[in-house]
């Protein structure tokens, strides 16, 4: 969508029954671009003028009603290319004056999806007929917006205030049957009966055999004013608790309330005003950026534009049934891939299969999977202790312990037992792929498939290529990544790849601040308030000190000049503190894993401080929250700049997605590089330069950042990829 504005149109066909069928056409989801909306208005007015038209049915081409507004128009407003989001004016006019107030009745025939503006068009019709599997929702809040085309006023009048707020605030879709029970649609029929039913329904309204209802003026679903005020009060408290940094959920509640208290016309005006403000807000800019960045991760210049078609992967083998291997196997069978799980002995194999079973059983318990589906899914998994069944696998994912010689042996064996087309992937998070495949002649089909733990839950998949990896293998793995519902990001081969490398300074910066006198628990509070799922110390406890020290050593070895070397973690580990699993880390944990601060921590900090030869800096003892955020995250930005400059990542937007999905960076801040650009390269450079003079090389800005800072250029502007690892 980005870059080339989709045009789109509508068609009108008048049947012998006197019903005009207007079809929205704008592949792939019939988005409501300004051209589609103009055409809809023209088609509608034509239908109203014509004497042979009694009633109107609106539908979407190719089994989809409409996926909503054309989001690229919001982005153009945010970038200053458009003065106003055009659809807003047009759709308000089309919906209010043209559809709802028309002298001829209209019925929406909904199949596939009616999202956002698509559902708002349907709600402005006098009735809605849906298929059972159609998805209906108002997901605008995911873009930092509110429904801007009358949805905040019509939805509460159709389904009630509580359900309308739930649908808007959570962005969750409802299917046809539920929509019918709620009163959002008037009937549910099979796809082959949809148009005939909608046509008849429209004629029945015209002939007064069915009620002629304008959704905007319905009142029977609305609560009394006193009850409504209580609902709004509760909704505000919940929204504040769930997302204290976000304004737009509160704006949405206020707009709905305004319409209930002051009437629907006043509500529409308030909605329009609020939408105009939100579309220009930083949060909406960030979320719209993420919307496009997510869709851009599978577009890789020089790879996905070569016309290569992904080969069909019919069978996958996973080596290692530990936490990662069993999670990867779970993700694969959940998407109907037959999987062979190989282990070294029967005890380990049964334990691995048991973990997969437990992963699926938790879905059954939560009501996300039926018992029948559970059994069918489990039947896709077969265990093995040797390579005999590897003769016909299309892909192998190795997920054994991080041991170079063991992995080298495994890849030599795989080359012997797997067919020559088989993709040989490793889930390593730290070992160089060139080293893993050193003893094989199959470097062109060796690739990294780096999942994040737990692999069946976490959405990111880092696809790591070496200089030898063939484009076909990359295209194949991108396709598998999408099919197992992951967001694949292609990165180059280096220590820590993209996510772990970008974020290694995160915990190190926090430890540096603590050793210089900042309160450890204050850092975690500030970083959580910023929007991270947890602070760096709570995260270290969750991951476990063993893992944290092992990965930390990789960076000390590879980037000695810019790592902050502290003995804090080793000292604590020596004292049998290992993090959450040992009930003692930076926090103390009870049986339910609830964390509380530990006053004893001071002695470890003082000891680590004396080993490092660091003195408490009185300036840092009262460090403002803003400075804590910057001192923790600017080193992350600095490393992200190196990753980008070295060509480890193709686009800065890929690093934004990697930071969101790999580390939980808040989406409403737009990802690490987008957020950094909100400060400007000059400011970030000057801050890092200043800290490096006081606290050493750890903060020293990289050459890329210095160069961009000198020009005041955005950090996310494309890089000359002459030396790209890609």
Q: Which residues contact 553 (CB under 8 A, 6 or more apart)?
A: none
CA distance 136 to 145: 18
Q: What share of the chain is helix, strand, coil (3-state, %, to 5)?
A: 55, 10, 35
Output DSSP code: residue 148.
-
Handedness of CA 532, 534, 537, 539 (dihedral sign): negative
Cα 126 off chain centre by: 36
Cα 707 off chain centre by: 31
Angle separating helix axes 71-78 and 282-296, nearest 10 degrees: 130
DSSP E strand boundaries for 64-212: 106-110, 113-115, 127-130, 135-137, 174-175, 187-188
CA distance 427 to 236: 43
Kindly report whether the peptide bond that precedes residue 692 is cis, defined as omega within 30 degrees of 0. Answer: no
Q: Which residues contact 15 (CB under 8 A, 6 or more apart)?
A: 21, 199
Output DSSP code: residue 560.
G
Output DSSP code: residue 341.
E
Give me 448's structure tokens: 């990294």
| Residues in the chain, overall count | 726
Determine if residue 660 is left, alpha or beta; phi over 0 gives left, psi from -120 to 50 gives alpha, anything else beta: alpha
CA distance 555 to 565: 10
CA distance 173 to 179: 9
Strand partners, 434: none
Query: Hey, how many other C-beta atoms are within 10 angstroms of the C-beta on 711?
Result: 10
Give me 688's structure tokens: 């890092």
DSSP 3-state of 696? coil
Q: Which residues contact 265 (CB under 8 A, 6 or more apart)?
A: none
Question: Which of the following is catalytic: 140, 343, 630, 700?
Answer: 140
Angle separating helix axes 248-262 and 225-242, nearest 10 degrees: 170
DSSP E strand boundaries for 366-459: 381-384, 395-398, 423-426, 446-451
Query: Alpha helix (H) ranges present in 575-651?
Result: 601-612, 618-621, 625-645
CA-wise closest residue to 283 among 148, 153, 140, 166 = 140
Q: Is 140 a catalytic residue?
A: yes
CB 582 within 8 A of CB 576: yes
Strand partners, 341: 318, 383
Q: Is 166 a catalytic residue?
A: no
DSSP E strand boundaries for 172-329: 174-175, 187-188, 316-319
CA distance 256 to 156: 8
DSSP E strand boundaries for 30-181: 55-60, 106-110, 113-115, 127-130, 135-137, 174-175
DSSP 3-state of 577? coil
CA distance 462 to 468: 17
Give me 6's structure tokens: 């989709």
Question: Which of the following is catalytic: 75, 100, 120, 700?
Answer: 120
Determine if residue 112 is left, alpha or beta; phi over 0 gives left, psi from -120 to 50 gives alpha, anything else beta: left
Greatest CA separation for the chain:
91
Strand partners, 443: none
Q: Supply the residues annotated as catalytic.
A: 120, 140
């Amino acid at each position: 969508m980005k870059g080339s504005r989709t045009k789109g149109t509508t068609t009108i066909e008048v049947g012998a029954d006197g019903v005009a069928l207007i079809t929205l056409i704008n592949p792939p989801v019939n988005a409501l671009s300004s051209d589609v909306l103009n055409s809809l208005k023209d088609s509608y007015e034509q239908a109203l003028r014509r004497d042979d038209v009694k009633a109107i049915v609106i539908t979407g081409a190719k089994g989809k009603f409409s996926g909503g507004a054309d989001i690229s128009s919001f982005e153009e407003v945010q970038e200053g290319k458009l003065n106003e989001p055009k659809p807003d004016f047009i759709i308000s006019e089309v919906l209010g004056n043209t559809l709802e107030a028309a002298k001829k009745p209209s019925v929406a025939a909904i199949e596939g999806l009616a999202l956002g503006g698509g559902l708002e068009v349907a709600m402005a019709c006098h009735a809605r007929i849906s298929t059972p599997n159609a998805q209906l929702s108002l997901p605008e809040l995911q873009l930092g917006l509110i429904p801007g085309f009358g949805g905040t006023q019509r939805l509460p009048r159709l389904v009630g205030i509580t359900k309308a707020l739930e649908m808007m605030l959570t962005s969750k879709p409802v299917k046809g049957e539920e929509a019918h029970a709620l009163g959002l649609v008037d009937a549910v029929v099979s796809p082959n009966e949809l148009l005939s039913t909608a046509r008849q329904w429209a004629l029945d309204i015209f002939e007064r055999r069915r009620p002629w209802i304008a959704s905007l003026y319905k009142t029977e679903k609305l609560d009394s004013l006193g009850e409504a005020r209580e609902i709004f009060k509760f909704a505000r408290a919940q929204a504040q608790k769930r997302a204290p940094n976000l304004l737009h959920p509160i704006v949405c509640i206020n707009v709905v309330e305004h319409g209930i208290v002051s009437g629907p016309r006043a509500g529409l005006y308030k909605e329009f005003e609020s939408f105009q403000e939100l579309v220009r807000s930083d949060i909406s800019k960030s979320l719209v950026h993420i919307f496009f960045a997510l869709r851009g991760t599978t577009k890789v210049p020089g790879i996905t534009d070569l016309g290569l078609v992904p080969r069909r992967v019919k069978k996958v083998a996973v080596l290692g049934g530990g936490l990662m291997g069993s999670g990867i196997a779970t993700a694969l069978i959940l998407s109907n891939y037959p999987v062979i799980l190989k282990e070294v002995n029967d005890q380990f194999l049964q334990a691995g299969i048991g973990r997969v079973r437990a992963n699926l059983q938790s879905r059954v318990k939560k009501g996300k999977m039926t018992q029948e589906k559970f059994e069918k899914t489990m039947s896709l998994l077969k265990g093995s202790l040797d390579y005999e069944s590897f003769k016909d696998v299309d892909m192998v994912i190795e997920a054994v312990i991080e041991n170079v010689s063991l992995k080298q042996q495994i890849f030599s064996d795989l080359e012997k037992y797997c067919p020559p087309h088989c993709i040989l992937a490793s889930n390593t998070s730290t070992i160089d792929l060139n080293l893993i495949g050193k003893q094989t002649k199959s470097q062109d089909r060796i690739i990294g498939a780096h999942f994040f733990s737990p692999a069946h839950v976490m959405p990111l998949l880092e696809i790591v290529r070496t200089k030898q990896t063939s484009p076909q293998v990359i295209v194949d793995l991108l396709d598998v990544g999408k099919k197992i519902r992951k967001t694949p990001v292609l990165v180059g081969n280096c220590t820590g790849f993209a996510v772990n490398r970008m974020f290694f300074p995160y915990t190190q910066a926090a430890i540096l601040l603590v050793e210089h006198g900042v309160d450890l628990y204050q850092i975690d509070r500030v970083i959580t308030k910023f929007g991270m799922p947890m602070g760096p110390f709570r995260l270290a406890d969750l991951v476990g000190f063993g893992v944290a020290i092992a990965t930390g050593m990789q960076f000390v070895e590879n980037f000695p000049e810019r790592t902050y070397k502290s003995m804090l973690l080793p000292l604590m580990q020596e004292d049998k503190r290992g993090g959450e699993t040992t009930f003692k880390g930076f926090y103390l944990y009870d049986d339910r894993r609830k964390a509380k601060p530990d006053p004893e921590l001071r002695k470890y900090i003082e000891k680590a401080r004396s080993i490092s030869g660091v003195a408490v800096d009185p300036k840092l003892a009262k460090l403002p929250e803003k400075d804590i955020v910057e001192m923790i995250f600017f080193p992350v930005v600095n490393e992200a700049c190196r990753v980008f400059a070295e060509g480890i990542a193709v686009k800065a937007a890929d690093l934004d997605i990697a930071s969101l999905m790999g580390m939980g960076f808040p989406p409403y801040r737009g990802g690490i590089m987008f957020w950094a650009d909100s400060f400007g390269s000059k400011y970030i450079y000057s801050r890092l330069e200043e800290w490096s003079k006081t606290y050493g090389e750890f903060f020293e800005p990289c050459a890329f950042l210095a160069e961009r800072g000198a020009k005041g250029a955005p950090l996310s502007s494309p890089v000359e990829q002459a030396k790209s690892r890609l």
